[in-house]
Structure 1
Amino acid sequence: MTNLEFHAPRSAEFDGGLASLRGDCARMAPHWAAPEKILSRPVSPSLIHGVNVPERSARLLEAMPEYGN
């Protein structure tokens, strides 16, 4: 008798996908302390020169259908 194994195709999600990312955030949340009161003022748009996004985060966003196009 032959034992055939079938494997589901792997998803296109990196590093376990959104569920894994949410789990990681939930585990890290107790390590982050939020300030009691935020004393910040709006920043002038002329002072904003760009945003740096880690490559790994960018790949995760590109894999999401609503952001990838």
Structure 2
Amino acid sequence: MTNPKIHGTVPFDPDGGLAALRGEAGRMAPHWAAPAKVSTAPVSPSLIHGVTVPATSARLVDAMPEYGD
């Protein structure tokens, strides 16, 4: 976020809400370049092997209404 002691031209309100946050992000965006887009091909399911899922993770996903039975 903008430091009001350094950048006095931009008012900063820490409780400004989403609009203030979006404004801060918009001012910071030019400082970072987007990485080059990496294109990857889908992997065939027959090539996926050796994946193990801990029992606690499996139970967690099973308990979620979107993923459970």
Q: TM-score, normalised by structure 1?
A: 0.31
> Computing the radius of gyration over CA atoms, which structure comes out larger, 1 or 2?
2
Structure with the bigger RCO (C-alpha within 8 Å, sep 6+) is 1
Q: TM-score, normalised by structure 2?
A: 0.31
